Amino acid sequence: DQAAAVRAQWTDALTAAFARSSSCNPTESPPPPGWRLLAAPGERPVEGTTGVDVARLRDIGIQSVAPAQGVKVHSRIERFHIKPRLKRLEEGDGIDWATAEALAFGSLLAEGYNVRLSGQDVGRGTFSQRHAMFVCQDTERVYVPLNHLSVGDSGRQARRQPGKLEVVNSNLCEEAVVGFEYGMATEDPFTLPIWEAQFGDFFNNCQTIIDGYVASGETKWGQQNGLVLLLPHGFDGGGPDHSSSRLERHLQLSNDPVGGFARAAPNLYVAYPSTPAQFFHLLRRQMKRNFRKPLVVAGPKTLLRLADATSSLHEMGPGTRFQPVLDDPAIRDPLAVKRVMLVSGKLYYELERARSEHPLGSHVAIVRVEELSPFPQQELYAVLAQYANATDFAWVQEEPRNAGAYAFVGPRIQRLLPDLADLRYVGRSECAAVCSGVETQQAAEQAQLVQEAFDGLRGLVADLVINTISLQQARAPAASKQPPKPLDAQQPPPPQQRTLESQSAAAVLPASVSHRWSSRPLYAAAQSSER
């Protein structure tokens, strides 16, 4: 009887509402007060620097692992989390991902912003890396160090009182949780809302929320939101169900145009950062802008504890910001580069390790595309243009060809390449599953694609040698009988001459990967010796 009464009451309410709808004249609801301080949808975005004073960062980092008096932390947290963080902060180098995240949270809190982090086991972190909350081993009291920051001088410059970090260990109901976090993102633009999936593919249970609200809400209703989806991603033996955050699906939702100039701001930002400093700037950028956009981050797994994937405090210091493209820091002579590999995320470190062991590695540049949407056309073109002698360009990814970023970035990169140059694909072939469920097979596929990325390099270097000699002969006076200088004695020309030289070389002897100078003794010598 009680159930029937509830049902009847609800049916009557729906019937009355339907009757009123015929005469309803809806008006636009006023946005929450905070939104009036930001730019309206469609206006030109304003980007600034997101760095923080190094001394302030060090202080925030120390406070991020300072337990309250009377709170007894677990001995393993003391040994493997607190002490290593304090040591890295003191040295100012080797800052890992969890520390960079804590610095981003703490600096935003000190400036008056709130941070809300939800997801399965986010307090500890899926990979035991975060420990945003300490649990007393005697009383089970929960203590969040970042909620007890000593603001200091920065508080006088804060927009409002120090913010609050809300850590919510939510249940395994992704659709409901992400729907709630979207609501949080639309209500308060000065709260950084983050939903972290336990593994990247867990977002598939909330795909309808992403499609219908997160990615398209601004287009349909003019409703901005700054929700961050943190999706752990990477092929490291986790099998087909825990390896991929399905970058291809999120990129398919982006309205970033393939040709021409990008819009003032796209509907969706997608990033795959490779360093903790980049991750730090991504999180701070979400709040420091004069607008709000959703952000999808392919987050780290094995990179969380990779010694090479660390940053210094100065990379997060004043004047620094997120870089959509990271050039190769190991290249000393751009004109010696014949192959340019473009990559995102953790695969960079595997390629870098293989290059350091390759005898011709100095002729390969590895360029990282950190932001996939909006695609950084201008930034990437500026990097590629300096490699004037490069004739081979490859996009390298660990995902299958029908997955990952290749379908999205391929046509966009192709527009930036020199004439007669094509973008090659290096990676796994098409597959219905994300990857193999057998760890040994997955490792063998990974090793094969890394090796494939360096195949044919000897022939490319031979082309470079031939072009160099032909260019010298073309420039030499007809009466001159002086032999060309050895390659080791040549000095690279200044930057202003690189374009002219590349054009002259092309006029003398066009360089292309398809050319094979089998009739030339020099090419035969190059084939018989790596040098």
Contact 325, 369 (CB under 8 A): yes
The HSE-up count of residue 137 (CA atoms within 13 Å, CB side) is 8
CB atoms within 10 A of CB 63: 16
Name the amino acid, one letter, at 136: C
What percent of the chain has pLDDT above 70?
Answer: 86
Residue 505 has pLDDT above 60, yes or no: no
Whole-number pLDDT of residue 42: 66
Q: How confident is the model at residue 31 (pLDDT cuts 50, 70, 90)?
A: confident
Q: How confident is the model at residue 260 (pLDDT cuts 50, 70, 90)?
A: low
Tens digits of residue pLDDT in 284-305: 999 999 999 999 999 888 899 9
- 3-state DSSP of 461-527: HHHHHHHHHHHHHHHCCCCCCCCCCCHHHCCCCCHHHHHHHHHHHHHHCCCCCCCCCCCCHHHHHHH
CA distance 375 to 421: 20
Please state the rounded mean pLDDT for residues 446-468: 87
pTM of the model: 0.83
Q: Which residue has the higher pLDDT, 448 or 41?
A: 448
Q: Specify the range with the lowest mean pLDDT, choosing from 246-250, 317-321, 414-418, 475-479.
A: 475-479
Alpha helices by DSSP H, listed for 253-346, are: 276-288
Q: How confident is the model at residue 46 (pLDDT cuts 50, 70, 90)?
A: confident
For the chain, count helices (H), then strands (E): 17, 14
Tens digits of residue pLDDT in 480-504: 555 555 544 445 444 444 443 333 3
Q: How confident is the model at residue 526 (pLDDT cuts 50, 70, 90)?
A: very low
Highest-pLDDT range among 16-30, 412-426, 456-470: 412-426
Whole-number pLDDT of residue 194: 96
Q: Specify the range with the lowest mean pLDDT, choosing from 25-34, 205-214, 327-336.
A: 25-34
Tens digits of residue pLDDT in 54-99: 999 999 999 999 998 889 999 999 999 999 999 999 999 999 999 9
Please state the rounded mean pLDDT for residues 201-217: 90
Instruction: Please provide residue 160's backbone torsions phi and psi, each rounded to the nearest 5 degrees.
Output: -155, -170
- Beta-carbon contacts of 238 under 8 Å, excluding residues fewer than 6 positions away, are 199, 301
Q: Specify the range with the lowest mean pLDDT, choosing from 124-133, 234-243, 244-253, 297-306.
A: 234-243
Q: Which residue has the higher pLDDT, 155 or 248?
A: 248
Instruction: Please provide residue 514's backbone torsions phi and psi, each rounded to the nearest 5 degrees.
Output: -75, -15
Longest dimension (CA), the chain: 111
CA distance 230 to 323: 19
- How do the residues of the chain divide into helix, strand and coil, expressed in percent and rounded to 5? 45, 15, 45
Average model confidence (pLDDT) for the chain?
Answer: 85
Residue 276 has pLDDT above 90, yes or no: yes
Q: What are 478-481's contacts with CB under 8 Å, separation 24+? A: none
Among 104, 128, 132, CA closest to 118? 132
Contact 457, 356 (CB under 8 A): no
Q: How confident is the model at residue 243 (pLDDT cuts 50, 70, 90)?
A: confident
DSSP 379-435: HHHHHHTT-TT--EEEEEEEEETTSTTHHHHHHHHHTTSPTT--EEEEEEPP-SSSS
Among 342, 350, 398, CA closest to 371? 342
Among 362, 438, 347, CA closest to 395? 347
Burial of 208 (0-12, 13-18, 19+ CB in 10 A): exposed
Specify which residues 135 forms β-bridges with: 142
Which token pair is 198? 């336990």
Whole-number pLDDT of residue 483: 56
The HSE-up count of residue 512 (CA atoms within 13 Å, CB side) is 11
Whole-number pLDDT of residue 375: 93
Q: How confident is the model at residue 166 (pLDDT cuts 50, 70, 90)?
A: very high
CA distance 358 to 361: 5
Q: Which residue has the higher pLDDT, 90 or 466?
A: 90
Q: How confident is the model at residue 117 (pLDDT cuts 50, 70, 90)?
A: very high
Contact 115, 105 (CB under 8 A): yes
Residue 116 has pLDDT above 50, yes or no: yes
Residue 403 has pLDDT above 70, yes or no: yes
Which token pair is 17? 């509402």
Which token pair is 143? 């203590």
CA distance 435 to 397: 13
